[in-house]
Structure 1
């Protein structure tokens, strides 16, 4: 059977972030949230607007680099950055903190997401390759932390199957997406298996999401595309993005039927911004399927 014709995502928010990451749709506010990791900015824009959003996206400045901003059950956000985890209100004002045992001179926090029970899983990575091993942390609503994985090259995207019994996790430097059995009740990782491995000259897997049919959508850094993978790991289609450094993706909108894709434009990528004027923006397409509801942090 022939594969479907690739779709092409169109620019939705021309925010020109250095490193846009961690998109997620908040159904309480009807907004897409994402961060500019290096700048420490949270961006918000309503998804019921045409491209670009009417009035443009709103930027909230944090006081530190921020890799993840997850809506909380009780309101506000949980963020990850140098030092560990910080509870904030929706305007970025900090509250409770949980410190992590990392050498922040060489390490930083990276992508993360909440499991169906409301725990945050979020990884660390070295600022320069080989500076230190990455870890995958789990944070409970009461502030308890445990390390689920150690010795990672670059802990990155994470998402769960529709039933919650499988978690998918990216190690970008290994060019690999792994699948683990997952105990939602206890939060424990089970057996591991390789799900997807990309050739080094193709690009690195980065952020990912899962649709309602159980298919994975994997952003590929360096390839300008998002792959759609069947539950058995077969790549069945893809979305082309007019920016080479694709970082992550998430479903949003009232019916969760739009796919939003974040990208990077920072000079360290070696790709001059003038060659890709929309790089660092958020792109959107309607892939013909829908996503799963957001899991909020239970704390």
Structure 2
């Protein structure tokens, strides 16, 4: 695409400056007009009004909570699905207690925690696993797993270091997955029919986008036109990628470590992480870990619901 058609946006101040160590997983709840998101390192789940940044509630946990989703037929004000240290669990939001429904298996699971993920068109949850904090350098010991309530997790990919977001095209016939440290977004042809349970409904694996910058692609969401809005950790920006995998726009932010995005109408809410490499008083440090918002003129495809 020619440079004259390249779109740019800039957001300079956070909507909410919580100083998250690792803000992640933003998820919009239309019924309550709230956005929930996690701070993985600080083991917290925050919920904030999209109309009033002071209307904030927080749940704290004794292990990392990494991602959330809604459950079919269940009021998300009561219970939601969460990725926790050892796998997939159901959280009671009133008590803060949760119960595992499926756990990550295999050798060395004590070293592993969950990471990002999403519900597929059939109501199952795809989620990555990776080296937990406090276990030394991240190793290629993670996987991309598909969870359901009826069976053990199925393994789609292994030998991953930082598996990240999962998502689908608007017609649900393409599945995307980001492997952050490889700086690549992978695509497969995907069978969205309800009968596609086993084997895994993935064919024609290919690299959809290879990132050339110094940062790493982190979390993303897909819009109704098929573009991917991709946060980049370490580059102070969100990329807009066309359905063909071309870079067609970017959002610039005032802090370095951008982690994920979420659509609320035609606005994008953006989570970030702290910037430990910045000097005290430097803008990236002062504004790192904040939640940002900006109008982008297109809606997202929304979320599927987990079938419990």
User: TM-score under structure 1 normalisation?
Assistant: 0.90
Matched, 1:192 2:205: yes
Match of 2:281 in 1: 274
Work out which of the residue numbers 237, 247, 251 in structure 2 matches 1:239.
251
Matched, 1:110 2:115: yes
Moved more, 225-234 or 190-199: 190-199
Q: How big is the alpha-carbon RMSD for the aligned residues of Structure 1 and Structure 2? A: 1.8
CA contact (8 A) 2:15 2:53 kept: no
Match of 1:209 in 2: 221
The DSSP-based 3-state class of the residue aligned with 1:265 is coil
Work out which of the residue numbers 41, 45, 56 in structure 2 matches 1:42.
45
Cα deviation for residue 5 of structure 1 reads 4.6
Match of 1:3 in 2: 5
Distance in 2 separating the partners of 1:206 and 1:289 = 21
The DSSP-based 3-state class of the residue aligned with 1:24 is strand
CA contact (8 A) 1:82 1:104 kept: no
CA contact (8 A) 2:167 2:175 kept: yes
Work out which of the residue numbers 78, 82, 85 in structure 2 matches 1:79.
82
Cα deviation for residue 211 of structure 1 reads 0.2
Cα deviation for residue 44 of structure 1 reads 0.6
Query: Residues 56-112 of structure 1: CA distance to partner in whole angstroms, max 9, x if unpaired?
Result: 421111231111122212231111122212111123321343221152443221111
Distance in 2 separating the partners of 1:5 and 1:158 = 24
CA contact (8 A) 1:19 1:266 kept: no
Distance in 1 separating the partners of 2:183 and 2:63 = 28
Cα deviation for residue 125 of structure 1 reads 1.4
Moved more, 144-153 or 202-211: 144-153
For 1:47-62, list aligned pairs within 5 A. Answer: 47=50, 49=51, 53-62=52-61
Match of 1:94 in 2: 98
CA contact (8 A) 1:15 1:282 kept: yes
For 1:215-234, list aligned pairs within 5 A. Answer: 215-234=227-246
CA contact (8 A) 1:212 1:289 kept: yes
The DSSP-based 3-state class of the residue aligned with 2:175 is strand
Count residues in correspondence: 289
User: TM-score under structure 2 normalisation?
Assistant: 0.88
Moved more, 145-154 or 203-212: 145-154
Distance in 2 separating the partners of 1:5 and 1:122 = 31
CA contact (8 A) 2:7 2:248 kept: no
CA contact (8 A) 1:265 1:273 kept: no
Unaligned runs of 5+ in 2: none
Unaligned runs of 5+ in 1: none
Distance in 1 separating the partners of 2:303 and 2:66 = 18
CA contact (8 A) 1:25 1:294 kept: no
Distance in 2 separating the partners of 1:81 and 1:272 = 32
Moved more, 88-97 or 287-296: 88-97
Cα deviation for residue 19 of structure 1 reads 0.1
Moved more, 147-156 or 93-102: 93-102
**Alignment CA distance shift 1:237-1:266 (3 Å):** closer
Match of 2:65 in 1: 66
Cα deviation for residue 132 of structure 1 reads 4.0
CA contact (8 A) 2:166 2:176 kept: yes
Cα deviation for residue 205 of structure 1 reads 0.5
